[in-house]
Amino acid sequence: MFAAMSADDILRKLPKVELHRHLDGSVRISTIWELAQEHGLDLGVRSFEELQRKAVLRTPRESLQSVLDCFATQQSALCSFEAISRITRENIEDAWHDGVRLLELRFAPAFIARGKTITNDEIIGAILDGMLKRMAAWPVEVGLIGILPRGYTAEENAAATRDIIRWRSGGAPGASRICGFDLADSEAGFDPRALAPLVEEARASGLGITIHAGENTDAAHVARALDIYRPSRIGHGIRSIEDPNLMRRLADQDVLLEVSPTSNWITNAVPALPALYRAGVPVCLNSDDPNLFGIDLVNEYEVCAREYGFGEAEFSVMNSAALRHSFLRPEVTARLAKEL
Ligand SMILES: [Zn+2]
């Protein structure tokens, strides 16, 4: 018992860099419950226990509908400026307690706004508000990544891109922390060229590019994302293990895969991390949507220690790779490199 506790403690205290955590996919269940009472949200549940069963994905699910229900329940809580600021603060707080010293949080304005009257400006303003409050309280470095969901309309995604870029260059307090741009949601049946002009606009404005690819789709989707979007990071990308040439390309071009073992297991993706690591592909560890999966980031380190035999050396390599690939300004990462 004591040994188990101290191992957890060691992993918790390890200073970490986390680049892939969705603030709009990771709302504390207690917060969803409180916000539902406060705002009269109809979550279709009668008790907190029922909400836990509905909103937390602890094992792979057969039905796509039950997975979508989880996301919809999380999304409904992001319903006002104050709620979004609070959820941002809590995400940073949770990461801090996981030992995270540099966090890049991502969010999709169009996903948060759907079905509500809240605007992209209110959403981005609320996230900056929550971020600045936590950064004032703790020595944690935070960056923000804007996401376009692939399945949304061209108008929604064009508006989100324009608003993310305008906020980044607008000079509001904390706005320079908006540092990255991402595409997410299902790749299947989607024309990848459709969003390429928006990715180029984001790059031209100085945003770093990361793309969700190759989680449930094959290695060819990762190669295609590299060809079309030229990202320096890929969200998941674990199906790259199917193609040795692609793994060599990722290693040679120093493209980082942002891997999340529990998330990949829940979405029935392959456990690829050890093979990718051994092939020299830059990889880092992330929680993706911790409250949705009922985990924390320390849990992902424990999985790697227990299942893959990873220890301090591997964790150090992965955190260094994450820091090197952060989209935050070099003076921020240099300061942290000394500390780590
Ligand atoms: Zn993700």
Local structure of 209: helix, strand or coil = strand
Ligand 1 midpoint to CA 259 (Å): 9
The strand pairing partners of 178, in sequence order, are: 144
Please give the helix or strand (H or E) that residue 21 lies within, else none: strand 16-22
Mean pLDDT is lowest, of 68-72, 102-106, 198-202, 259-263, for 68-72
- Residue 219 above 90 pLDDT? yes
- Active-site hit among 18, 187, 215, 314: 215
Query: What is the per-residue pLDDT for 268?
Result: 63
Mean pLDDT is lowest, of 14-18, 59-63, 262-266, for 59-63
Local structure of 125: helix, strand or coil = helix
Ligand 1 midpoint to CA 288 (Å): 5
Structure letter (DSSP) for residue 193? G
Ligand 1 midpoint to CA 256 (Å): 14
* Average pLDDT score over residue span 197-215: 97
Asked if 215 is an active-site residue, the reply is yes
Query: What is the per-residue pLDDT for 1?
Result: 43
Ligand 1 midpoint to CA 26 (Å): 11
- Where in the chain are the domains? 2-24+84-339, 28-77
Q: Which residue has the higher pLDDT, 109 or 58?
A: 109
**Per-residue pLDDT tens over the stretch 74-124:** 999 999 999 999 999 999 999 999 999 999 999 999 999 999 999 999 999
Structure letter (DSSP) for residue 254? T
Query: What is the per-residue pLDDT for 338?
Result: 84
Instruction: Name the pLDDT band for 215 (thresholds 50, 70, 90).
Output: confident
Query: What is the per-residue pLDDT for 5?
Result: 60
Query: What is the per-residue pLDDT for 2?
Result: 45
Structure letter (DSSP) for residue 186? -
How many angstroms separate the CA atoms of 81 and 69, rounded?
23
Question: Class of 2-24+84-339 per CATH?
Answer: alpha beta
Average pLDDT value for the chain: 94
Ligand 1 midpoint to CA 90 (Å): 18
**Per-residue pLDDT tens over the stretch 292-324:** 999 999 999 999 999 899 999 999 999 999 999
Ligand 1 midpoint to CA 221 (Å): 16
**Considering the entire predicted model, what is its pTM?**
0.95
How many angstroms separate the CA atoms of 27 and 75, rounded?
8
Ligand 1 midpoint to CA 184 (Å): 7
CA-based end-to-end distance of the chain? 29
* Average pLDDT score over residue span 207-236: 96
Structure letter (DSSP) for residue 325? T
Please give the helix or strand (H or E) that residue 55 lies within, else none: helix 48-55
